[in-house]
Structure 1
Amino acid sequence: MIPALCAWHIVPAQQPAADDLPGQLQGVLRYRICQYEGTTLKTAQTFQQDRVQAAGGDWRLQVNKRVLPDGATDIQAACRLEKGNARQCALSISLDFARWSPQHYVLVPASVYNGNRYRAIGEGYNPDYPRDMYYNPQVPLTISNNPRLSIQTGEPSTIALQTGNAATPAICFFSPQEKKGFILLTTQQTSLGNSGLTITENAAKDSCSLSISAPAVRRLAPGFGDFHASGDRAPDWKAGDEVTMHFRTYVFDAEDIPALLRRLMQVRKALSGPNAPRNILPMSKLLQCATDICRQNFIEVKAGAYYRPENNDDFQLGWVSGMINTFPMLALNDAKERQRVARELDFVTAKLQGKSGYFYGGITADGKLRPEKMHPAFPELQAMVRKNGDVLFWLMKHLLLLKAQGYGRMIRPEWEQAAKRLAAAFAATWEKHGEFGQFIAPATGDIAVYNSTAGAIVPAGMIMASRYFHVTAWTTMAKDASAFYYRRDVEKQGLTGGDCGDISHDANSESAFGLLESLMAVYHYTGEQRWLHMAETQAALCATWVLSYDPVFPSGSAIGRLQCHMAGAVWASIQNKHAAPGICTSSGDALFKLFRATGHRQYADLLRDIQHAHAEAVNMPGHLTTHNLTGSSMERIQPGDAEGKESIGNFINTRNSWTETAGMLMALEVPGIYINTDKKEVYTFDHVVTEIIATEKSSMVIAITNPTAYDASVSLLAENNRQAAAPLPYTAFVKWPHVRAGAGQTVKVRVTAAGIAIIP
């Protein structure tokens, strides 16, 4: 039974939501016993007060409620079978809303954005585009066959999920008519396993029911762009059996979708509580292992010389680390790797740039260009806009890094010319179309497939190129493009998507983090506060893709056996229903810069979670994940059953270059320890423990303890308020000092804004 809590009040089992949902949302809270035959609902009996006779038994319900200081309503509902036996029964708790509209924005983190109320195509992973999506400026946002609310009035629609399908177990909506936001948080599990999350609209779309159930009983489970029999089953009950469900509701004034996103970021851990990141792998050790793998993957083939970005010898540009994994190798400041990086840049700029200035997306080892998202009616080779955005952004970062390292004379005119031609191509596309599209034809520069947020990271590359090449018009274009994507996609639709090579226009995490990168880049170069405000909303959207708690995995699964703490794993897309160790493909340092600019720790916490979840997936002695190379990782962290129940919690025995690249970038671009000497504050990202020993007017003494089994070299960024007010250069990490702490050792350092000193 529920433990006694003096702050709780027992309330009737059925009550008008006016008690729980203040405002004008007009919801009714219902508790029901649902009996199933397999996954078919047979009966549903609603509790009247605290009793009901259903499914051959007498049931009792005790509801304990309290109103929290932040206005949330926290409820625990304990359901007990008092007499009899009942087959295949579940407890369902529903919030029924009568004043509903298809204009409501509906969100389930990492699964449903804007109700997924869009045109859907295909019956599986990465569906082919129909002919009408090509060279069509009016193409609607189109997703794969995912759970969704229907577009058409006159037909009911249902989204049936389980908590393992969500980055945070929550159902949220924004009502534009009432200017209200609503958040329903629940726990991952009860004693009956993962719970269900269900959204059901009536045919007229003027009412909707949001339900949580113990356990989840779905007819179909969503897969990667398709559905399969769920295999769910409600349990049989005997007298004395009981289950307790815990949930929390928030109703608040909200002017727009961004207001809902920002509130969700604030409360997403409120029910689960703070997660507990484990310190198991110093970032310096991760960097050493991952760069060792990358060294081994440098090849010379007919097409050219490069670090392999995949598990074969073909080359794929951008996205999954082609010409991105070169950046940490260049950062090693090793003569041999610097020459290898130069050879790859020669190869990319000579072999992959089309006549228009855009780049093709890949090339085979024997030199044949790789097509992307082709249709037989349109034979022109196409390439991802996202990959071209990556090329511009990362090529500019390579040029800046070479100069910061003192090797500016190594920069080939051909590299600069390639970057300038690509920036000019983007500028021409923007001037002509007012967007960048999703796929382009590098030979002509024409947009082949419009729409999506595939160009999310382009403004970051454009404003960097603008300053590097002194073309002021590109700064204006970068600002206009950033504002366009933010207004159209974030403010109006509450999603960004379409920049992965294996999805349609589906909402995804990579475009969300890409747009955050662009907003912070524009803020970096202009100092205008409005970009910072947009970036805070964008970071909140990014947070919806990140596991907010440490899921319970099956005890016999690989993740379960290793007892991994996976809060911080980043979900891929609404099609690819899995989380991954890191952002594809980024360090997430834009979150650090946002934390530094605002002082809001929630952004640092989000980045720390991502960094620590990554380490949990890295294959190391005594911590085998991929069963592959030491330091390897792969992209599959599976809390849900999209790939079948047997896949939950199990890694795949392979490796992905992009996840390893993301780890290397985090080790480089995020300081291990960040210190503000004026505020006397320390924030620790690396896998060490810090303690402030003493504070003086302009200095601090801190103890750094390394609890891991590996020696650590920890980077420190220490600064005062004046220094923190200035933008952080993209190559700032080159000058960060490092403190060495052996495995199990504690080191004391004196820190000032001017530097650090080891205390013997």
Structure 2
Amino acid sequence: MKFSTILLSFCLMSSYASAQTEALPQQLLKELKGSLHCKITSYNGTEAVHQNVFTGNEISTTSGEWKLQLQCAPVAGNSKAVDVNAIFQLTEGSALASAVSVSFDFSKWSTENYVLVPASVYNGNRYRAIGNGYNPAYPKDMYYNPKVPLTISNDPRLVLEPGMSSLVDLQTGNTATPAMCFYSPKAKKGFIVLTLQQTKFGNNGLTIKENAAKDSCSFVISAPSMRKLATGFGDFHKSGDVAPDWKAGDEVALPFRIYVFDAKSIPDLLAKFMQERKAITGPNHPRNQLPMSKYLDVATTICKNNFVTVPAGSYYLPENGKDFQLGWVSGMMNTYPMLAMNTETERDRVAAELDFVVNKLQGKSGYFYGGITANGKLRPEKMHPDFPELQAMVRKNSDVLFWMVKHLMLLKAQGHGSMIKPEWESAAKKLAAAFTNSWKKHGEFGQYIVPETGEIAVFNSTAGAIAPAGLALASAYFQHPEWLAAAKAAAEFYYTRDVVKQGLTGGHCGDISMDADSESSFGFLESLMAIYTYTGDKIWLQRAQVQAALCSTWVLSYDPVFPANSDIGKLQCNMAGAVWASIQNKHAAPGVCTSSADYLFKLYRATGNSMYADLINDIQHAHAEAVNMPNHTTTNNLIGSSMERIQPSDAEGKGSIGNFINTRNSWTETDGMLMALELPGIYLQTDTKQLQVFDHVEAQVISANKNGITLTLTNPTQYDASVSLFAETSYNATKPLSYTEFLNWPKLQVKAGESIKVLVNRNGQPTSIL
């Protein structure tokens, strides 16, 4: 939905407001010792010169007369939510370089409050910060220190130091959802304010100001944003924001919705956020343009042509150069869809890569090194000159364990178990044992380890988010209960320490500090669903729902407006579903690094909650928008290629907004292949007629009788589609899904532009095409 349409519908909805309803927001905010104030501020550049606060509906300044209308309406069915449309009008005179704002001012503030701005601020980012740029080096005191504090890059944050005021100054382009939120442990209340991306002046500002005493705090929405400094990738630069000039008759509307609600914990706030994140922006509009089967065809073609034999060994390239990087950005993960092709050539290539990884990268401790050059030299990670031991990311090792076992499971499911070499299984066992030993010794996995000794080099963070998933799979595959016990204990630890108490997970990416990031959030959801799969214990399903809510804070919940002359603007891409990287790397990307996110589908299937299906559907369709195809040029690179930059913010400069980069990223291409494999194109429950479409086709139930359910399928794209169908009963949906279930899904062939009818029998099989 375009901004002008959203604003019009919002104004129409609010038009019945009366003078009595103007008190509604103030009454609601009182529950948190808060109040609402509307302001006009004049500027010299980005320096505020003078501020006028409305005490009624009119203000006189030295140059003009202003009028304020507050159109307020209670949200239907929710006594703890109010819609407000603040209309600022200059009725007489003029106003140079002036911006308008709405401020939510809270007294009785506490630094214990959890503050959230989706994709930008988690727990106020109130942590130790280092460096002044991208991927800062760790100081010496962070090594071999079990008590190392959570440490982030130079990101917008509420300060730790007493006696210092705080300023977090953002614009809506820095967020996955234009929102600011907090949870008060003392009041047992949550606060959420949602707004729109922009007005006619451009993107809105989102500002949080905390006083030096840290006992009052203001959350401010401004039109337009008026930041002194814009945040970059671990640094700041001059914003270049400009306040507009006004003449008599000019006006702007600033709509928003306020929630104040009972909340016992941070998870309560996260759950409420996920439920309401699209409440103002409304449903987004994913475009059906690239069938998953067509994408799988073009992306596997790229991967086939990127298999190399170099002095170090033989492997599919995980990067644009010939060096190999394990895990994270698809090393030994892009092998999985190639193995799923089930051809002798690709099986042999996957086997060669497994040989290479096992023989060249595993250290004596069982942990793996994170990468190797084409000439066979091991690549160090996060090194410090005082500690010469080669280190590796815990996250990469978590990926290795999880994906290695998935490869073994897939080979057996395909009937090729005889290909599995004892060395592969031995390597997986050694790695599972290494993780278990670390857990027993330290009660955590750390962020960086020394593969030679197994010692943790850098403690803390949620870098081991996927490790419990790998241990759970290894436990089931090798029938080793101790590993499942370690998985459960580690997942319990991370859930309590990081999700419940801090409302964030982080330290998962190789190019950040311990910053909050999306990859650990989604990775930990993978672990929670894996443990649920192998235990059937509903407590893990409940925790997975909380974690999915945290994941949703990283995903664009609406279709941002991009500059009309930008790459995305010209293609008119709908980018809801793009996944933000981290609080340091301020951009979104097409997909979850690196995963199909099929655990979201599994969570939807287990709970019936359509929010999870909606989330994965958004992610899949945003991915397709970034794929380079004929008549849809994105990367200016190979057909089927994609890259990791979907940029709604000016973190890389205003000229970068909405522009792709002429390159490709293996991990985003791997994401698409995995989604095409591990997500069904169509999901149907044959007894409840529940229907969910993930592929780029349209489907609906047209009849049901004793013989089954008849569906119509329409393919509106320019490509023929082979659509996977997963049909089952609601009873079967209560049973956890196998990791290789996708091998059993029948395919429905729908030519470009055509419609077909399909009869699905009670056993979930398409029995005829009418």
The TM-score with structure 2 as length reference comes to 0.97
1:644 to 640, 653, 664: 653
Question: Partner residue of 2:716?
Answer: 707
Paired residues of 2:22 and 2:72 also in contact (CA < 8 A): no
Question: Partner residue of 1:19?
Answer: 27
2:743 to 734, 737, 752: 734
Q: How far is the alpha carbon of 1:10 from its aligned partner?
A: 3.8
Q: How far is the alpha carbon of 1:645 from its aligned partner?
A: 0.4
2:111 to 76, 86, 102: 102
2:767 to 754, 757, 760: 757
What is the letter of the counterpart of residue 754 of structure 2?
Answer: Q
* Residue 56 (1) aligns with residue 66 (2): no
Question: Partner residue of 2:86?
Answer: 77
Q: How far is the alpha carbon of 1:758 from its aligned partner?
A: 3.1
What is the letter of the counterpart of residue 332 of structure 2?
Answer: M
* Residue 414 (1) aligns with residue 423 (2): yes
Q: 1:320-339 alignment to 2 at 5 Å?
A: 320-339=329-348
Question: Partner residue of 2:616?
Answer: 607
Distance 1:292 1:657 in 2: 12
What is the letter of the counterpart of residue 436 of structure 1?
Answer: F
Q: How far is the alpha carbon of 1:152 from its aligned partner?
A: 1.5
Question: Partner residue of 2:404?
Answer: 395
Secondary structure of the structure 2 residue equivalent to 1:721: coil
CA RMSD after TM alignment: 1.3
What is the letter of the counterpart of residue 527 of structure 2?
Answer: S
Secondary structure of the structure 1 residue equivalent to 2:78: coil
* Residue 232 (1) aligns with residue 241 (2): yes
Paired residues of 1:507 and 1:573 also in contact (CA < 8 A): yes
Secondary structure of the structure 2 residue equivalent to 1:41: strand
Question: Partner residue of 2:4?
Answer: none
Secondary structure of the structure 2 residue equivalent to 1:264: helix
Q: 1:366-377 alignment to 2 at 5 Å?
A: 366-377=375-386
After alignment, is 9-18 or 621-630 more displaced?
A: 9-18
What is the letter of the counterpart of residue 9 of structure 1?
Answer: A
1:33 to 11, 19, 40: 40
* Residue 172 (1) aligns with residue 186 (2): no
Classify 1:141/1:50 alpha carbon distance in 2 versus 1 (closer, same or farther; 3 Å).
same
Q: How far is the alpha carbon of 1:640 from its aligned partner?
A: 0.5
2:394 to 372, 380, 385: 385
* Residue 67 (1) aligns with residue 69 (2): no
* Residue 454 (1) aligns with residue 463 (2): yes
Distance 2:184 2:731 in 1: 42
Distance 1:747 1:737 in 2: 15
The superposition leaves residues 112-139 of structure 1 with CA deviations (integer Å, 9 ceiling, x where unpaired) of: 0000000000010000000000000000
Question: Partner residue of 1:363?
Answer: 372
Question: Partner residue of 2:683?
Answer: 674
* Residue 432 (1) aligns with residue 441 (2): yes
Distance 2:677 2:184 in 1: 42
Secondary structure of the structure 2 residue equivalent to 1:21: helix
Question: Partner residue of 2:454?
Answer: 445
What is the letter of the counterpart of residue 767 of structure 2?
Answer: A
2:16 to 8, 19, 24: 8
Q: How far is the alpha carbon of 1:722 from its aligned partner?
A: 2.3
Question: Partner residue of 2:204?
Answer: 195
Secondary structure of the structure 1 residue equivalent to 2:452: coil
Q: How far is the alpha carbon of 1:271 from its aligned partner?
A: 0.4
The superposition leaves residues 466-496 of structure 1 with CA deviations (integer Å, 9 ceiling, x where unpaired) of: 1111111111111111111000000000000
Paired residues of 1:16 and 1:27 also in contact (CA < 8 A): no
Paired residues of 1:55 and 1:86 also in contact (CA < 8 A): no
Paired residues of 1:91 and 1:215 also in contact (CA < 8 A): yes
1:513 to 511, 519, 522: 522
Secondary structure of the structure 2 residue equivalent to 1:748: strand
Classify 1:237/1:382 alpha carbon distance in 2 versus 1 (closer, same or farther; 3 Å).
same
Paired residues of 2:506 and 2:515 also in contact (CA < 8 A): yes
Classify 1:219/1:12 alpha carbon distance in 2 versus 1 (closer, same or farther; 3 Å).
farther
Distance 2:362 2:712 in 1: 51
Secondary structure of the structure 2 residue equivalent to 1:9: coil
1:404 to 394, 407, 413: 413
2:285 to 276, 282, 287: 276
* Residue 693 (1) aligns with residue 702 (2): yes
The superposition leaves residues 590-630 of structure 1 with CA deviations (integer Å, 9 ceiling, x where unpaired) of: 00000000000000000000000000000000000000000
Question: Partner residue of 1:543?
Answer: 552
What is the letter of the counterpart of residue 336 of structure 1?
Answer: T
Distance 1:219 1:18 in 2: 30
Percentage of pairs with the same residue: 64
What is the letter of the counterpart of residue 53 of structure 1?
Answer: S
Distance 2:646 2:153 in 1: 21
Q: How far is the alpha carbon of 1:516 from its aligned partner?
A: 0.1
Q: How far is the alpha carbon of 1:19 from its aligned partner?
A: 2.0
Q: How far is the alpha carbon of 1:647 from its aligned partner?
A: 0.3
Distance 1:16 1:573 in 2: 36
Distance 2:768 2:636 in 1: 39
The superposition leaves residues 51-79 of structure 1 with CA deviations (integer Å, 9 ceiling, x where unpaired) of: 11236211111110001122310000111
Classify 1:104/1:300 alpha carbon distance in 2 versus 1 (closer, same or farther; 3 Å).
same
Question: Partner residue of 1:617?
Answer: 626
Distance 2:258 2:100 in 1: 18
Paired residues of 2:42 and 2:97 also in contact (CA < 8 A): yes
What is the letter of the counterpart of residue 408 of structure 2?
Answer: L
Distance 1:569 1:16 in 2: 35
Paired residues of 2:26 and 2:36 also in contact (CA < 8 A): no
The superposition leaves residues 246-287 of structure 1 with CA deviations (integer Å, 9 ceiling, x where unpaired) of: 000001100000000000000000000000100010000000
* Residue 480 (1) aligns with residue 489 (2): yes
After alignment, is 11-20 or 40-49 more displaced?
A: 11-20
After alignment, is 291-300 or 714-723 more displaced?
A: 714-723
Distance 2:21 2:89 in 1: 13
The superposition leaves residues 216-257 of structure 1 with CA deviations (integer Å, 9 ceiling, x where unpaired) of: 000000000000000001001111111000000001100000
What is the letter of the counterpart of residue 755 of structure 1?
Answer: Q
Paired residues of 1:13 and 1:31 also in contact (CA < 8 A): no
Q: How far is the alpha carbon of 1:17 from its aligned partner?
A: 5.2
Distance 1:682 1:604 in 2: 11
Paired residues of 1:185 and 1:271 also in contact (CA < 8 A): yes
Secondary structure of the structure 1 residue equivalent to 2:444: coil
Q: How far is the alpha carbon of 1:22 from its aligned partner?
A: 5.5
Distance 2:84 2:616 in 1: 31
Distance 2:637 2:677 in 1: 24
Paired residues of 1:35 and 1:55 also in contact (CA < 8 A): no
- In the alignment, structure 2 segments of 5+ residues that lack a partner are 1-6
Distance 1:739 1:428 in 2: 47
1:501 to 493, 496, 510: 510
The superposition leaves residues 295-344 of structure 1 with CA deviations (integer Å, 9 ceiling, x where unpaired) of: 01000000000000000000000000000000000000111011000000
